[in-house]
Structure 1
Amino acid sequence: MKFVKIVLPAIVMLCVLSSFTFSKKGDKTVYAFGVSASFVDSVVYCTDIQALDSVKLTKEGFLPKREAYSAQLKNYLENKGELNRTCMIYFSDSKKNLLREFEKISDKYKKNKSVLFKKIEKNDFQFTKPE
């Protein structure tokens, strides 16, 4: 009987604790947005903040194949007839920090009256994981 009183609570406790999953540091969601500007055009395009599918940052904190994400935005805009654009991608595993960066960049372009700031909606363009 003493054995049951000790083992049974231990088994129940083990079941309860094992039902929770703990997120590892490397398993954080990575968020990104893109900005496209041109030296010969006054229009600046910017995407929505998007969660990147199954992407992990490197040990140094960089986004793997980030140039491929910039190329996706460039290709999208070229298909829309917007040629010779420079595309940049901003990323972070903290949505709050990325939102702050997004607001800082968009405010900078919106203050400049000679620049037309256009937002690319999420349903129009979505980053995909490069192969």
Structure 2
Amino acid sequence: EKAVYAFGVAASFNDTVVYFTDIQVLDSVKLDKGGFLPKRDLYTYQLKNYLEYDLKSLDYTCMIYFSENKKKLEKEAAKVKSKYKKNKTIVLMPIAPEAFRFKKPEE
């Protein structure tokens, strides 16, 4: 069974800080027949809740990127970060893995 990897990105139109997580292995998750991550909206809400409650950062739009291919996801992460880096006013803020981890949503 293949591992599923994911990372999250959170951006706001009201702030110059863009948050991102490390690439993480999602615990006991399988992609569906279409290759999509089941309940992916709940993973984005986990990140949004972390930002709002723990970091007091409101009005962020959160995205999750996922793949069974870690190399492909690392390339995607680099591409996403470089897009944000092009804008000199944006600050990329990593979220430490010990501070936030995606958890499998309850069934």
Interval containing the TM-score (normalised by the shorter chain): over 0.9
1:97 is aligned, of 72, 84, 92, to: 72
Where does the alignment leave 5 or more consecutive residues of structure 1 unmatched?
A: 1-26
SS at 1:122's partner residue?
coil
Provide the C-alpha distance between the structure 1 equivalents of 2:32 and 2:97, rounded to a whole number of angstroms: 26
Pairing 1:85–2:53 present: no
CA distances 1:48-92 after superposition (whole Å, capped 9, x unpaired): 000000000000000000000000000000011100110000000
C-alpha deviation, 1:107, in angstroms: 1.2
Taking structure 2 as the reference length, the TM-score comes to 0.96
Q: Which has the higher helix share?
A: 1
* RMSD of aligned residue pairs (Cα, Å): 0.6
The one-letter code of the counterpart of 1:77 is L
Q: How many residues align?
A: 105
Matched, 1:120 2:105: no
Bigger RCO (CA 8 Å, 6+ sep): 2
Instruction: Kindly indicate whether residue 27 of structure 2 is the aligned counterpart of residue 53 of structure 1.
Output: yes
Q: What is the CA–CA distance in structure 1 between the aligned matches of 2:63 and 2:105, rounded to whole Å? A: 16
Displacement of 1:111 after TM fit?
2.2
If each structure's strand is expressed as a fraction of its own residues, which one has the higher value?
A: 2
Unaligned 5+ residue runs, structure 2? none
* Aligned-residue identity in percent: 61
Structure 1 residue 108, shift from structure 2 partner: 1.3
4+ aligned runs moved over 3 Å, structure 1:
none
Question: Which of 6, 11, 14 pairs up with 1:40?
Answer: 14
Q: What's the counterpart of residue 72 of structure 1?
A: 46
Query: After alignment, is 104-113 or 89-98 more displaced?
Result: 104-113
